[in-house]
Amino acid sequence: MGGASPDRTPGPGGSDRAGRDPHGRNVELAFLEGVRARLPGHPAVLESLGCLYTELGRHEEGLQADREMVRLQPASPLAWYNLACSLSLTGQPDEAFEALEKAISLGYADAEWMQEDDDFAPIRSDPRFGRLLARLMVEDP
């Protein structure tokens, strides 16, 4: 992704939503789910839903949205990165590393964000994570 951070970074549409009140986030979720019912294959809606589900701790639903994103946009490094996040959070480390490898091969290059991303806490101590991070740092210093 040419060094761009995934949509789960702080900022508009990112994880700074976590500081908002739960009611507001549930209203946003209901709205996005309604939009998705009318536009089931809209990438921006799916991406936003995936991020919001993850922020709300609904990791399985976030995983479903991220799998759909990869199906719709198989050449998107961001879609594969977000899938890796969801796989990590749902206890699927091997699949998470496969998705992360794919994201990097498609151009994901933000080593700094990857290193800080809390979604990778479950797999950060795995030696494969360090190897991928080192590879990114060498490829995009």
Which sequence spans correspond to the domains of the chain? 15-139
pLDDT at position 11, please?
34
Contacts of residue 65, Cβ cutoff 8 Å, sequence gap at least 6: 46, 47, 49, 50, 53
- Helix residue spans in the chain (DSSP H): 22-38, 43-55, 59-72, 77-89, 93-105, 111-116, 127-139
pLDDT at position 72, please?
93
- Position 3 pLDDT exceeds 80: no
Global pTM reads 0.80
pLDDT at position 26, please?
83
In tens, the pLDDT along 12-47 reads 334 444 456 778 888 888 888 888 889 888 888 889
The arithmetic mean of pLDDT across residues 66-85, rounded, is 96
Distance of CA 48 to the CA centre of its chain: 10
pLDDT at position 141, please?
55
Contacts of residue 108, Cβ cutoff 8 Å, sequence gap at least 6: 1, 77, 78, 80, 81, 114, 136
Average pLDDT, the chain: 85
> Domain spanning 15-139: which superfamily?
Tetratricopeptide repeat domain (1.25.40.10)
Range with the lowest mean pLDDT among 4-8, 40-44, 62-66, 113-117? 4-8
In tens, the pLDDT along 51-62 reads 999 999 999 999
